[in-house]
Structure formats: C-alpha cells, structure tokens
Amino acid sequence: MEFNFNEKMFWTIRNKIYSFFLKNFIPYDELIESIINKLNLKPNFYILDAGCGPGIFEKKLLEKKITNIKVEAIDISYEIIRIAKQNNPCHNNLSFKVMDLNQKLEFKDRTFDAIVCINVLYLLKNPLNTLLEFYRILKENGKIILTFPKPNFDM
C-alpha cells in the first residue's frame, strides 16, 4: 500500500474534519440506526465495516450490547484508525486495521455475515473490483449494505 505524501496529508486533515462533522450531524446518527436495524443482528454475527472512518458505526453498534458481535473495521488512513480506536476503547470484539479497499483484502473467503460500506464506494478507484472482493469475503446469504451521499451533498 503506497501513498504519496500529499494523499496521506489530505486524508489525515479531511478525516479530522469529517470525524467532528459526523459526531455532530443528526441525519448521520439516523443513518447508522437504520443500518443497524437492517442488519437483523444475531449473536455471533461477524461484520466488516469497510471504510470505518472515526468509528461511529462501531460505537453505536456496541451500545446495542448484542451477545458476541464481532466487528472488523478498516480504513485507508492511519490517523482515522487512531481516532476510531480512541472513540471505541477497550472492546474485545472490535478490531481496527489500516487497509486499502482498492487492494485485495486480507480476509479469507466467506468470512463475514455482513459488510457495511458507508459513503465510501464512490471514492474508490475501481468500485467494481471492491464489490467483487466483498462478494469473495461475504458468507453465503450474507448482507452487504452500501450507502452513498445524496447528489450535490457537500461538506
């Protein structure tokens, strides 16, 4: 995974602003609640949050206290993963990793019960390849939940 300095700096600055914005934006809270409800969570559910940002989805999900939910949260930015860990301290069933969704993901085939990708897919170089990768790592009858910003939405 290689970045030039400018791309790293861009994502670091953008993610700090984005993190603040999401924590204080009510429609985003409603979106997260809607996603959690659509997952129909059960004990021992294994979820990938692809493009986790500051970890707000994880925080809301873990507040539900559903037995043995396990979450892998990945993002391209080291800085945003650091922020996500700060927002979600001390959870044994939660793992944050730096990964690039433009690359093959470091998970075995048929690993996850659900994959959530919130407002990320449109930013990728080749979203179709990423969707194929999601299919590879999703269990049979698993769910993929994708969200996209509204047209003309700008932060």
Alpha helices in the chain (DSSP H): 5-23, 26-39, 56-63, 78-87, 127-137
**CATH code matching the domain that covers 5-147, chosen among 3.40.50.1100, 2.160.10.10, 3.40.50.150, 3.40.50.300:** 3.40.50.150
pTM of the model: 0.82
Asked if residue 92 lies in contact with residue 121, where contact means CB atoms within 8 angstroms, the answer is: no
pLDDT in tens, 29-72: 888 999 999 999 888 899 999 999 999 999 999 888 777 899 99
- 149 DSSP assignment: P
Question: How many angstroms separate the CA atoms of 132 and 104, rounded?
Answer: 10
| β-bridge mates for residue 74, sequence order | 50, 97
Task: Give the confidence band of 82 by pLDDT, cuts at 50, 70, 90.
Answer: very high
Give the lowest-confidence range in 26-30, 55-59, 81-85, 143-147. Answer: 26-30
Beta-strand relationship, 70-75 and 94-98: parallel
Give the lowest-confidence range in 4-8, 40-44, 125-129, 147-151. Answer: 4-8
pLDDT in tens, 91-141: 889 999 999 999 999 999 999 999 999 999 998 999 999 999 999 999 999
